[in-house]
Amino acid sequence: MNVKELQKKAVEVRKGALDIIYRAGAGHIGGTLSSADVITALFYEIMRYDPKNPALADRDRFILSKGHCIEGYLYALADCGFFPKEELKTFCQFGTRLIGHPNRDVPGIEMNTGALGHGLSCGCGMAKAGKLDHKDYRVFVLMGDGEINEGSVWEAAMFAASHKLDNLYAILDRNRLQISGCTEDVLRLEPLKKKWQDFGFYVREVDGNNMQELLDAFAELDKVTGQPKLLFMNTVKGKGISFMENNPPWHHAIPNQEQYEKATAELAFQAKELK
């Protein structure tokens, strides 16, 4: 896909996530919308995988460490052919495998997440295994900025740098909001970029809602050897839906019919503008 096609797909991923959440009456929309662009870049352009063979040994691995922001991820998996799109209508319904967090019963999902702070540690294990097995796959781990309050993230960061895991791509969704409010009010994180650099990561900072910047950054990170990488994404929580953007209650608020229709109209306008 070219950049405009990927931008259109990102709008589609946002609309798919909105539909999933509205239909189920459950979900986490704010962080799903802020990370929709990187999900699109990864699954429609960057990553190597085969939806007909999800266990392909040489596939790139993706871990959604901020597991509550699953709706865009599920939409992308279904759209890419891992499971039927019709199944998305069962999200959070009784007996479904599409629960509110990643679940390995779903093809394309590498690990169960939702208890925050575990994804990078498991990503380190996958990346180290790739090194030991002389495989060239990459491991992408998407984290939330509120999530890195967890000490296990920093233990994993030390491990990754110590073992020179240059096949590990940590991705930080820096939207500056978490369930309790602004990240700097809950537990101060800054100077955050410098912290990751001091822990031994090669850090590339981007506008995480800019598709061209994302593609350029991944191309740069692919050339880095001898150290793990961090894609530091400055994003807008609720991106793409005006009344949700930078609005803390939309961490997990559910739109009513009027709000759903307004959001749908805004996304439809964005899609039309990209034609």
Neighbours of 131 (CB within 10 A): 14
Is residue 117 within 8 A of residue 141, CB to CB? The reply is no
CA distances from 234 to 37, 114, 224 (A): 12, 22, 21
Which segments of the chain have a pLDDT < 50? none
Task: Report d(CA 41, CA 58) in Å as an integer.
Answer: 19
CATH number of the domain to which 27 belongs = 3.40.50.970
Query: How many whole angstroms separate alpha carbon 109 and alpha carbon 132?
Result: 23
Nearest-5° angle of CA 99, CA 211, CA 142? 40
134 exposure class (CB count in 10 Å sphere: 0-12, 13-18, 19+): exposed
pLDDT at 88: 98
Please tell me the pTM assigned to this model: 0.97
202 forms beta bridges with 229
Amino acid at residue number 186? V
Question: What are the Cα distances from residue 74, in Å, to 68, 87, 97, 142, 176?
Answer: 11, 10, 11, 14, 24
Q: Count of CB atoms within 10 A of residue 226's CB?
A: 10
Cross-strand pairs, 186: none
Say how many domains are in the chain.
1
- Give Cα separations from 44 to 6, 77, 210, 223, 257 (angstroms): 7, 10, 15, 20, 31
In angstroms, the CA 73 to CA 53 distance is: 18
**Which range marks the domain in which residue 153 is found?**
3-273
H-helix or E-strand spanning residue 89: none
The predicted pLDDT at position 275 comes to 83
Q: Name the β-bridge partners of 64.
A: 142
